[in-house]
Amino acid sequence: IQAKLAEDQKNGIKSVALGRSFMGCFLTEFIGLGDSYEEIAKNIYTALRTLDKKGYEKAYITAFEPIGIGFSIMDRLNKAAGHKTI
């Protein structure tokens, strides 16, 4: 993800990464969603609205294990991404 962020910056594309909060120390542009799946589910819609408000052109989101609430999180993210994954 960091390589994609750097490539986008080089090409003038405003991009950001989203994921579990502890991952922020590894990425230059980052929005933390929380650390538990419950926090992530609670914060995901706010984070997606923030992307729109701040004019991000791309967002890279780490995958979550699709078990239990993680399945719902991944379903929502896949829909938001138009089912585009890397």
pLDDT over threshold 90, residue 26: no
* Neighbour-count burial of 34, counting CB atoms closer than 10 A to its CB (0-12 exposed, 13-18 middle, 19+ buried): middle
pLDDT over threshold 90, residue 15: yes
pLDDT over threshold 80, residue 63: yes
Question: CA-to-CA distance for 27 and 45, rounded, in angstroms?
Answer: 21
**Which of 81, 60, 62, 80 is CA-nearest to residue 70?**
62
Mean pLDDT taken over the chain: 90
- Under the banding of pLDDT at 50, 70 and 90, the label for residue 40 is very high
Q: In the chain, where does DSSP find H-type helix?
A: 2-10, 37-53, 69-80
Question: CA-to-CA distance for 34 and 40, rounded, in angstroms?
Answer: 5
